[in-house]
Amino acid sequence: DAKTTQPTSMDCAEGRAANLPCNHSTISGNEYVYWYRQIHSQGPQYIIHGLKNNETNEMASLIITEDRKSSTLILPHATLRDTAVYYCIVRVAPGSGGGADGLTFGKGTHLIIQP
């Protein structure tokens, strides 16, 4: 799986949009970009994923650059409950020789929403 680079931590004011960047410059054409978040002592929560096109769901939007080398997760109106560690992950298609079919989590970005 391609490696990702994320800032260690970020702050955002409550009610503002939180924009979390992720660099994945070695991503391959068949790799998806996934975003998860984890609140302390809980399991990771799936947020969104995409391949090439921008995606939006009830939680967030995912903006992927045209060259696919970076992406941004957008939480449109951040609340205190959005304080968590956010993980950006790329996942290779099964059988592509990229190793076991799990998700490779790095250290993520600790997002702190300020009141």
Partner 1 sequence: DGGITQSPKYLFRKEGQNVTLSCEQNLNHDAMYWYRQDPGQGLRLIYYSQIVNDFQKGDIAEGYSVSREKKESFPLTVTSAQKNPTAFYLCASSITWASNQPQHFGDGTRLSIL
The residue (of 43 and 115) whose beta carbon lies closer to partner 1 is 43
Q: Minimal distance in Å, beta carbon 30 to partner 1?
A: 8
Q: Confirm if 46 and 38 have CB atoms less than 8 A apart.
A: no
Decide if residue 8 touches partner 1 (CB under 8 A).
no
Q: Of the ranges 20-28, 45-53, 64-72, 76-84, which one interacts with partner 1 (CB under 8 A)?
A: 45-53
The residue (of 99 and 115) whose beta carbon lies closer to partner 1 is 99
- Interface pattern 15-44 for partner 1 (x via CB under 8 A): ---------------xxx-x------xxxx
Q: Is the dihedral of CA 62, 82, 11, 40 positive or negative?
A: negative
Whole-angstrom distance, CA of residue 9 vs CA of residue 26:
23
Whole-angstrom distance, CA of residue 83 vs CA of residue 52:
27
In terms of phi and psi (left: phi > 0; alpha: psi -120 to 50; beta: otherwise), the region of 89 is beta
Contacts to partner 1 from residues 72-111, by CB under 8 A: 87, 91-94, 99-108
Whole-angstrom distance, CA of residue 7 vs CA of residue 96:
29
Q: Which residues bind partner 1 (CB under 8 A)?
A: 30-32, 34, 41-46, 49, 51, 87, 91-94, 99-108
